[in-house]
Amino acid sequence: MRSVRARAALGATLVVAIALTAAGLAVLMVLRGNLTDRAGLEAEVAAREVAGQLALGATYAELELGDEDTHPVQVTDEQGRVVAASKDLEAISGTGTATVVPMPSAPVRSPGDDDDDDDDGGDPARGEVSSDPPDFVNGSATVDGDTADYRFAAVEATTGRDVTLTVHAGAPLAAEQEAVDTVGTSMLTGLPLMLLVVAGVTWLVTRRALRPVEGIRREMAAITASEDLSRRVPEPDSRDEIARLARTTNETLTVLEASVDRQRRFVADASHELRSPIASLRTQLEVGEAHPELLDVPGAVADTVRLQALAADLLLLARLDAGERPGRTAVGVGALVREEVSQRTADRIPPEVSVAGHGALEVVGSRGQLARVVGNLLDNAQRHAERSVAVSVREDRGDVLVEVADDGAGVPEAERARIFERFVRLDDARSRDDGGAGLGLAIARDVASRHGGTLTVGEAPGGGALFTLRLPGKAGTEPEPGRQAGNR
């Protein structure tokens, strides 16, 4: 069953069917119990009435057994012999004995007994009716040819001559059975109709609730077919889960569109940047092949180096875009900066290094990637500085700050966000002889973000640009990608 509506309707119907069945059985049980208790109460009243007559000294022949059609009565003695029974009672079960005809030898009080009592000058001796709760049992009886089920109550009575008798009186269960059958039939008749109503209502409600989902699905299918990521799915006016799903889907499409556009620009810019050094290198090699004396070996080597560096930058960016997480080793930032500066023997302006604090200034991450960030920042400063480049490392509220300053023209405030975009070079850095491909600061920003840090640019105290790399210290939280920074 592939339809959500069908599964929801079936599930709701099954749940309601189980609930109604359980509730119906409970109602029938309670109804049967109440009606049975009422029949038992009627039987007890009838039995106590007869027992009261026996306790007052009535003979078996004098007993008034009430309505024999609705309350059949059977009286037994201590030996279980029947001493009295309803006149039209033809058969009985459930009372302990099936006999319905009184025993001929059953004792009956004689007139002489009455005279003896009168001679004493007092009333005839009286017995008593047991006050204990009677015993109840279900059975059947045949009265005047009609057999029916009865609820029998057994009440003990003691006569004036200390004879214990048991009176069994019954109350019909026909009303109880009829009521239970009527209610059960009504439930069986109404249950299918109720289930049909539940299934239909659930189907309609689910269909209405899922209508926006179908609109989202159709729009997503159209977007997939057209590959037009500028389209968006419809957002319902409601504030439920479906509306949140639509908004999340549109947010995902927005991010995906931006990612695809960025990838397309990246591929286009990478192709453009690779084309120039490759074309220059090919030209020099072709000239050298035709005229060996004109081969510009230093130029070919320089183009090869630049092509190699560009390929390495592109490879690193691809790894970063793929979500590669940095290493988890402890890196001393002060020692890292000093080592990186000591290796830059060909720099136009020797950088000045300042490391503040007595701690290790450690962060957690990839030493190679962090060294790449420092190197890119120094390359950028060397490209724009006039007389000085300064690097400082210090601790700030649990973070480690690396600041690279130069005394160049600085970065205009309106351009400070753009310089961290890939393949972006400001107007004064368009020359490939003076600048790179515009990837250095983009790489630095991405590496900083992968380490849970930020990279921003501002104005140096003495003019020029001030790049600030902030990384969480080793004792801080784990690096989490996503903290943004601000390429020149």
The dihedral sign for the CA sequence 246, 249, 253, 255: positive
**Over residues 149-161, mean pLDDT:** 90
Asked if residue 488 is part of any domain, the answer here is no
| Residues 168 and 88 occupy one common structural domain | yes
Total domains in the fold of the chain: 3
Angle at 204 between CA 198 and CA 209, to 5 degrees: 120
pLDDT of residue 203: 87
Between 316 and 195, where is the model more confident? Answer: 195
For 384-432, list the strands marked E by DSSP. Answer: 389-396, 399-406
pLDDT of residue 476: 54
362 is a domain residue:
yes
- pLDDT tens digits for 80-136? 889 988 888 889 998 888 888 888 754 444 334 444 444 444 455 678 988 888 999
Measured at the CA of 26, the angle between CA 20 and CA 29, to 5 degrees, comes to 140
Identify whether residues 376 and 461 lie together within a single domain: yes
d(CA 106, CA 77): 9
191 burial (CB, 10 Å; 0-12 / 13-18 / 19+) is middle
Percent of residues, the chain, with pLDDT higher than 90: 23
User: Is the model's pLDDT at 71 over the cut of 50?
Assistant: yes
**Residue 402 in this model has a pLDDT that exceeds 90:** yes
Q: What is the CA radius of gyration of the chain?
A: 52
- Residue from 34, 33, 41, 36 nearest 149 by CA: 36
Has residue 303 got a pLDDT over 70?
yes
> Is residue 225 included in any domain, yes or no?
no
Question: Do 300 and 357 share a structural domain?
Answer: no
Q: Which domain holds residue 10?
A: 4-179
**Residue 39, CB-side half-sphere exposure with 13 Å CA sphere:** 26
Using one digit for the tens of pLDDT, what is the confidence trace for 177-210? Answer: 888 888 888 888 888 898 899 888 988 888 888 8
pLDDT score of 427: 54
State whether 60 and 148 are in the same domain. yes
Establish if 265 belongs to a structural domain: yes
Choose one of 159, 179, 199: the last residue of a domain: 179
Residues 11 and 157 in one domain: yes
pLDDT of residue 125: 67
Kindly tell me if the per-residue pLDDT of 299 is higher than 80. Answer: no
Does residue 214 form part of some domain?
A: no
Instruction: Provide mean pLDDT across the span 231-251.
Output: 87
**Mean pLDDT within 285-293:** 81
Q: Are 203 and 197 in contact (CB under 8 A)?
A: no
pLDDT for 138 equals: 92
Q: Where does the pLDDT of residue 351 fall: very low under 50, low under 70, confident under 90, or very high at 90 and above? A: very high
In a domain, 387, yes or no: yes
Q: In this predicted model, which residue has the larger pLDDT, 468 or 57? A: 468
> 253 and 330 share a domain?
no
pLDDT value at position 482?
42
> Average pLDDT in the 222-250 region?
86
Please say whether the dihedral angle defined by the alpha carbons of residues 29, 32, 37 and 40, taken in this order, is positive or negative. negative
Residue 406's pLDDT band, with cuts at 50, 70 and 90, is very high
Q: Are residues 338 and 416 in the same domain?
A: yes
Asked if the model's pLDDT at residue 3 lies above 80, the reply is no
Are residues 114 and 153 both part of a single domain? Answer: yes
Model pLDDT for residues 411-427, shown as the tens digit of each residue: 888 888 888 887 777 65
Opening angle at CA 333, ends 401 and 455, nearest 5? 40
Instruction: Examine residue 125 and state whether it is found in any structural domain, yes or no.
Output: yes
Q: Are residues 122 and 56 in the same domain?
A: yes
Tokens coding 236? 């319902």
Q: Is the pLDDT of residue 487 over 80?
A: no
Is residue 456 in a domain?
yes
